[in-house]
Chain A
Amino acid sequence: MATVENPLSVGNVAFRRAPLLALGIVALLAGLWSGLFRVGWNIPALQPTLPISHGPLMICGFLGTLISLERAVALGRRWAFMGPVLTGTGGILLITGIGTWQGPLLITLGSLVLLAVFGAVLRIQSQAFVWVMAAGALAWMVGNVIWLLGAPVFRIVLWWMGFLVLTIAGERLELSRMLMHAPAVQRLFTGIAALLGAGLLVELFVPDAGFRLSGVALMALAIWLARYDIARHTIRTKELTRYIAACLLAGYFWLFTGGLLAALLGFSAGGPLYDAILHAVLVGFVFSMIFGHAPIIFPSVLGTPVFYRKFFYVHMVLLHLSLLLRIAGDLAGNVSVRRAGAMLNAVAILLFLATTIYSIARARWSTGDD
Chain B
Amino acid sequence: MPPTAEIASRLDIADSLQGVIDPEIGLDIVTLGLIYDIHVEGQVIEVYMTMTTPACPMSNYIKQEVGRALSRIEGVRRIIVELVWDPAWSPAMMDPDVRRRRFPSYR
**Residues of A with Cβ closer than 8 Å to B?**
1-11, 14, 70-71, 73-76, 118, 120-121, 124-125, 127, 129-130, 133, 174-175, 177-181, 230, 233-234, 237-238, 240-241, 244, 293, 295-297, 299-301, 303, 306, 308
Contact = CB atoms under 8 A, between A and B. Distances in A.
B52 interface: yes
Given A6-B79, A7-B81, A75-B54, A300 B23 contact: no
Interface in B86-104: 88, 90-92, 94, 99, 102-104
B77 to A, nearest CB: 10
B84 interface: yes
A11 B57 contact: no
Given A7-B63, A118-B55, 18 more contacts: A2-B82, A3-B80, A3-B81, A3-B82, A4-B63, A4-B81, A7-B79, A8-B79, A74-B59, A121-B53, A177-B90, A178-B103, A179-B91, A241-B24, A300-B58, A300-B61, A301-B57, A303-B60
B23 A5 contact: no
A114 to B, nearest CB: 11
A178 B91 contact: yes
Contacts of A241: 23-26
Contacts of B91: 177-180
Contacts of A7: 63-64, 66-68, 79, 81
B103 A73 contact: no
Given A10-B63, A180-B91, A297 B84 contact: no
Contact of A233 (B64, B82, B102): B102
B99 A74 contact: no
B60 A301 contact: yes
Contacts of B60: 10, 14, 73-74, 76, 300-301, 303
Contacts of B25: 175, 178, 230, 234, 241
Nearest to A297: B57
B81 A130 contact: no
Contacts of B80: 3-5
Contacts of A306: 23, 61
B14 interface: no
A24 B82 CA distance: 31
Contacts, number: 141
A5 B104 CA distance: 38
Nearest to A67: B57
A296 B24 contact: yes
B39 to A, nearest CB: 13
A54 to B, nearest CB: 26
Contacts of B24: 175, 234, 241, 244, 293, 296
A363 B105 CA distance: 37
A91 B82 CA distance: 36
A158 B63 CA distance: 37
A124 B67 CA distance: 25
A77 to B, nearest CB: 10
A10 B67 CA distance: 9
A73 B57 contact: yes
B71 interface: yes
Nearest to B59: A74
B56 interface: yes
A181 B91 CA distance: 11
Contacts of A124: 54, 85
B53 A129 contact: yes
Nearest to B51: A74
A46 B52 CA distance: 45
B19 to A, nearest CB: 13
A308 B90 CA distance: 29
